[in-house]
Structure 1
Amino acid sequence: MIFAFRSAGLNAVLFVKDLKVNIVLMGCPGAGKGTQSAKLQDVFHLKHISTGDVLRAEIASGSALGKEIAGIINKGNLVPDELMISILEKIVKATDKGIIFDGFPRTVAQAKALDEMMKRLQREITEVVMIELPESEVVSRIASRRQCRKCGEILHVAPDAPASSACPVCGGELYTRPDDTPERVKHRLEVYHTETLPVKNFYQNSGKYVEINGNQTPEQVFEDIVRVLKKVK
């Protein structure tokens, strides 16, 4: 299917078929990976694979694999790379769309395992997009983030918004997730930088790595990502 996409900041209309790129989308917590993944999925008909969502869905299914994953996570352990790769391989096998990997890989070992898995499926990672964001902006963004207990919608509120603010979507109660407190955010950033730098270096050496300025509006960030994808052969 051929369709046209126009954005106010782009000078030309971009005509594409379903884009067969396989993207690793990187970025610190709050960088907007989820927002950009949703846009890319809709516009380019890509398959968005968020490892967090995949694991939660497997656990919720009540399958034997889901119970195994729940047992690992409930003990405070990380899902082993081999198990994570086998789950991802099953999903990739089931689609002929281009892929957005969101939240994976987090280590060089995972990046190498992902490359090997894609080769087995006669595919490859075509682009690695890093959404860069200053730490001060990360803390500010996440501190303003609230989730609805009823519908699960994630929203950003003004710093002086009352604690009793209601979800504009369904009227449910908004709350701050435990991981979104300033203290937890700073710890998550420390872990992120420790884990991500080697992965960043790994992909820079592959020639597929590009950085996007995340300190812009979501629309501007998306336009920059589109420009990158237009150059992919």
Structure 2
Amino acid sequence: MLNLVLFGPPGAGKGTQSEKLIEKYQLVHISTGDLFRAHIKGQTELGQQVSQIIADGNLVPDSITIAMLEEEIKKNPQAKGFIFDGFPRTVGQAEALDAFMASIGEEISGVVALDVTEEELTQRIAKRQEISGRADDAADKLKKRIEEYFSKTIHVLPYYEGQGKLSKVNGIGDIDTIFASLTAVVDSYKA
């Protein structure tokens, strides 16, 4: 089974590249952002909690996020693999994900980090916000999310680097060029 973590700050292109990876490798996409938005839209109890946490610009607690991920994985027993988008964001989450994957006889095959400058991120998210109107793209929330990534989330990379599972790909440029770089890395995980 091919299990990937696609890593990068808000606006790095994780969603765009995930779609292409899913199609090529027939993976099940698990995006914590999509899970959160689905619960918010469905106005579930969890969605109401998550809505307030996100509105405040904070990260959703590990316990809520991990429970949702486990539920999604269990819904797909015939999957060829999974691509995790937006998770893990802390070393604690990475450890919990590894423990859960081990409990079902699996592991993370590799972690691909999309490298994008802060200037490029700001431009991309401003454009995305104009198009989608997503509340989590508002300027003040965006700044907080990018700061959160560079101050906290980025520390997950050494965890995977220590396992020999981390690869970095330049996330600036043509979408198809970035995808070609990504597939070269993913194919090396399958070898």
The bucket for the TM-score relative to the shorter chain is 0.7 to 0.9
Query: Counterpart amino acid of 1:212?
Result: V
* RMSD of aligned alpha carbons: 2.1
TM-score by length of 2: 0.86
Matched, 1:128 2:111: yes
TM-score by length of 1: 0.72
From the superposition, tell whether residues 197 and 89 of structure 1 become closer, same or farther in structure 2 (CA, over 3 Å). same
- Residue among 52, 55, 58 paired with 1:74: 52
Which residue of structure 2 aligns with residue 57 of structure 1?
38
Which residue of structure 2 aligns with residue 84 of structure 1?
65
> In 2, distance between residues paired with 1:180 and 1:71?
20
CA offset digits 1:53-99 (Å, max 9, x no partner): 1122234345xxx3134135426565432232122112112223210
> In 1, distance between residues paired with 2:150 and 2:38?
28
The answer on whether the counterparts of 1:145 and 1:180 sit within 8 Å (CA) in structure 2 is no
Between Structure 1 and Structure 2, the one with more helix by share is 2
From the superposition, tell whether residues 67 and 123 of structure 1 become closer, same or farther in structure 2 (CA, over 3 Å). same
Gaps of 5+ in 1: 1-19, 149-153, 155-174
Matched, 1:225 2:187: no
Q: Which one has the largest radius of gyration? A: 1
Query: Counterpart amino acid of 1:107?
Result: T
Q: Give the Å deviation of 1:176.
A: 7.3
Matched, 1:191 2:148: yes
From the superposition, tell whether residues 136 and 208 of structure 1 become closer, same or farther in structure 2 (CA, over 3 Å). same
> In 2, distance between residues paired with 1:99 and 1:112?
17
Aligned residues: 185
Identity %: 40
- Residue among 129, 143, 151 paired with 2:126: 143
> In 2, distance between residues paired with 1:185 and 1:72?
17
Shift >4 Å, 4+ stretches: 75-78, 175-178
Gaps of 5+ in 2: none
Which residue of structure 2 aligns with residue 105 of structure 1?
88
Greater relative contact order (CA < 8 Å, ≥ 6 in sequence): 2
Query: Counterpart amino acid of 1:68?
Result: L
The answer on whether the counterparts of 2:27 and 2:83 sit within 8 Å (CA) in structure 1 is yes
Q: Give the Å deviation of 1:33.
A: 0.2
